[in-house]
Amino acid sequence: MGDKIIRINMSNLTTAVEAVPAEWAGLGGRGLTSTVVAKEVPPMCDALGKYNKLVFSPGLLTATAAANSGRLSAGFKSPLTGGIKESNAGGTAAQKLERLGIKAVIIEGMPEKDTWYAIHIDNNGATIKEDVQYIGKGNYEVMKAVGEKMGEKLGVLAIGPAGEFKMAAANISVKDPDGNIRSHGRGGAGAVMGSKKIKYITVDETGGPGVSIADPEKFKTQARIFAKAMLDHPVTGQGLPTYGTDVLINILNEAGGLPTKNFRFGTVEHPEKICGETVHDTIASRPNGVTAHGCHAGCIIKCSQIYTDKDGKYITSGFEYETIWGFGCACNIADLDDIAKNDWVMDDVGIDSIEGAVLMSVAMEAGIIPWGDGKATYRLFDEDIRKGTPLGRILGNGAGSVGKTYGLTRIPVVKNQGIPAYDPRSVKGIGITYATSTMGADHTAGYTIATNILKVGGFVDPLSKEGQVELSRNLSIATAAVDSTGFCIFVAFPALDIPECFTAIYEMINARYGLSLTADDVVALGKSILKTERAFNMAAGMTNLSDRLPEFFEEPIPPHNAVWDFSGEEIDEFWNF
């Protein structure tokens, strides 16, 4: 882990290299970003104002030989939820920051001058320069142009027009190993970067100190155990590499937990047109398609892919289940190419692809566009959001914005963040996670689908209330710890089923830093992170009543006719730790 903090002050346009305070020494990723935000950001501040900060941190194992450890955490007060936010992404920036010895980048303040800036980070620290040449440009063009101008090997973080407009659904794009795009998706990271008038950040690792391992032999042994477990587990070794995350369409459809037409139905009429198997076969049948692709160097799952059209022309990559669900089921779009094009345009304008999908289903609910019309959704992204028309502003601020602006009551959000791809009535554990997550509705915060549906780490009946709070709590605690390592969340699958995989996670940290953490320390870290985040949210004006699902989930959802039947008291038990 790096030994320096890069602090970038956008009010007076200065940068500094600081030593790492002792209290932050053992932290990385989400653990560090949430700690910095909780310490330095006034909880009641305006998320788009000068008191908010944008913090980037690689994980504790980033840039080591540990498989799947290359994710970057971004932390800030969210303009979408009004609470704390950590959003992590693959791409190449995390490993470059780590090799520069940088533990965190803290961006604070706000320029008075009405212009735009670029940040460059290298072994000498950070520099700020005024740069307006890419303003209004999409992320694909920016990534390409910056690469051509400054070198293809630089890490790049950028915002699209949505971030420039400070839209609450705006993401931060990260350049991936092929020059394509991964995203700090949820919670409006791009709007915060836009509020600080930063269009892009480049990272040059040249000359950096690299990563040193305290006990290389031990590290190598544990990394091997870990990698083997990943390859042995059926989800990370077979399902995800073969079909990508979209393998879940058929599984959730069979379970009746695939929210369709804005959470009216638990199954979709056209699963065969959008399922993982079809995505795989479509990609495989087309020129230049890549069925398995990693979002960062060192990934051995490779659940990403490159999706091309019939002529082999690139359409999109990182084409995830959540996106395909959102357009294919929530919006009821049956054309996979249309969905892929929506994925591209969201990446290009810089919109979170989950929020983007959910907000379009709410736009259909409002009658703005017809159900199932994937060309209409594309047009709204490309013409309205990209240009910042009034309609584009409504949409770009997320599902809650669309629903409230049009006076709807069927608005699938928690803490104003769009609800993802699993119905909380028919998969009740994930409903507890949606309700209680400090992040707003977020499946990754405590992915009970593992146990409710995939029978990983045991089985808890998704339709029964029993055991769901405990399941969600345990997974949320574990996730907060995993989000601090730089690992992608999918390492949880083998870690839940294969004891030596779980052990390997903290033993690799021990070997990296010369520590002697135990499993209890991992749990304690996770609990501490959740409590820090929740304390921030409470100080920002939230209460236990913020941990509730929308009223309309009292309506039964076919095929099980399940309803959301947890009382407030039952939900609040989540925090009893």
The torsion angles phi and psi of 102, rounded to 5 degrees, stand at -95, 120
Pairing label, strands 314-317, 172-175: unpaired
As measured in angstroms, the least distance from the Cβ of 359 to a second copy is: 13
Alpha carbon of 449 to those of 293, 322, 364, 459, 563: distances in Å? Answer: 23, 13, 27, 10, 18
Whether the CB-CB separation of 76 and 46 falls below 8 Å is answered with no
Listed ranges 245-253, 271-279, 297-305, 543-551: which one lies at the site for a second copy (CB under 8 A): 543-551
- Told to check if 273 binds a second copy by CB under 8 A, we report no
Q: x/- string (CB under 8 A) for a second copy, residues 172-211?
A: -------------------x--xx----------------
Tell me the number of residues near a second copy by CB under 8 A. Answer: 37
For a second copy, the closer CB: 226 or 536: 536
Task: Out of 166, 182, 280, 425, name the contact with a second copy by CB under 8 A.
Answer: 166
Question: Exactly one of 46, 130, 337, 570 binds a second copy (CB under 8 A); which one?
Answer: 46
83 vs 244 by CB, closer to a second copy: 83
Measured distance CA(560)–CA(577) in Å, rounded? 32
- Spatial distance between the Cα atoms of 121 and 136, rounded to a whole number of angstroms: 23
Tell me the closest approach of the beta carbon of residue 541 to a second copy, in angstroms.
Answer: 4
Among 252, 489, 540, 571, binds a second copy (CB under 8 A): 540
DSSP label of 20 = P
Least distance (Å) from a second copy to the CB of residue 48?
A: 5
How far apart are alpha carbons 165 and 25 in whole angstroms? 36
- Smaller CB distance to a second copy: residue 167 or 477? 167
Q: Which residue, 41 or 336, has its beta carbon nearer to a second copy?
A: 41
Which residues make Cβ contacts (< 8 Å) with residue 535, sequence separation at least 6?
A: 38
- Out of 175, 280, 341, 548, the only residue in the binding site for a second copy (CB under 8 A) is 548
Q: Which is nearer to a second copy, 37 or 508 (CB)?
A: 37
**Candidates 90-98, 165-173, 177-185, 209-217; binding stretch for a second copy (CB under 8 A):** 165-173
- Minimum gap (Å) between residue 551 Cβ and a second copy: 5
Angle 415-417-418 from CA coordinates, rounded to 5°: 130
Nearer to a second copy, 83 or 239 (CB): 83
If one counts every other C-beta atom within 10 angstroms of the C-beta of residue 309, the result is 15
For the chain, what's the residue count? 577
Comparison of 84 and 235: residue with beta carbon closer to a second copy: 84
Give the residue carrying structure tokens 């420039």: 164
Site for a second copy, residues 406 to 465, rule: CB under 8 A: 406-409
Q: Should residue 12 be labelled a site residue for a second copy when binding is judged by CB under 8 A? A: no
Least distance CB 408 / a second copy (angstroms)? 8
The token pair that represents 357 in the structure block: 């999908």
Shorter beta-carbon distance to a second copy: residue 46 or 466: 46
SS3 330: helix
Both structure tokens of 460: 């808890």
Cβ closer to a second copy: 523 or 539?
539
Closest separation in Å from C-beta 417 to a second copy = 15
52 vs 426, beta carbon nearer a second copy: 52
Using CB under 8 A as the binding rule, whether residue 165 contacts a second copy is answered as yes
Distant-in-sequence, close-in-space partners of 568: CB < 8 Å, separation ≥ 6 = 544, 545, 548
DSSP 314: E
Residue 58's φ and ψ, nearest 5 degrees, are: -70, 165
Where do runs of H (alpha helix) occur along 293-352?
Answer: 321-325, 336-349
543 binds a second copy (CB under 8 A): yes
Q: For residues 160 and 462, which CB has a smaller minimum distance to a second copy in the complex? A: 160
Give the C-alpha separation, 275 to 282, whole Å. Answer: 11
Does residue 467 bind a second copy (CB under 8 A)? no
Q: Which of residues 363-402 bind a second copy (CB under 8 A)?
A: 389-391, 393-394, 397, 401
Among 45, 231, 300, 517, binds a second copy (CB under 8 A): 45
Give the torsion through C-alpha atoms of 311, 176, 359, 400, to 10 deg: -170
- For residue 136, the minimal CB distance to a second copy (Å) is 16
Burial class of residue 232 in the structure, from the number of CB atoms within 10 Å of its CB (0-12 exposed, 13-18 middle, 19+ buried): middle
Q: Which is nearer to a second copy, 52 or 317 (CB)?
A: 52
Task: Give the residue among 330, 346, 276 at the shortest CA–CA distance from 441.
Answer: 330
Taking CB under 8 A as the rule, which mask of x and - marks residues 48-87 in contact with a second copy? xx-x---------------------------x--------
| Percent of the chain as helix, strand, coil, to the nearest 5 | 45, 15, 40
Distance CA 110, CA 155 (A): 24
Side chain identity at residue 415, one-letter code: K
Binding site for a second copy (CB under 8 A): 44-46, 48-49, 51, 79, 165-168, 191, 194-195, 389-391, 393-394, 397, 401, 404-409, 539-543, 545-546, 548, 550-551
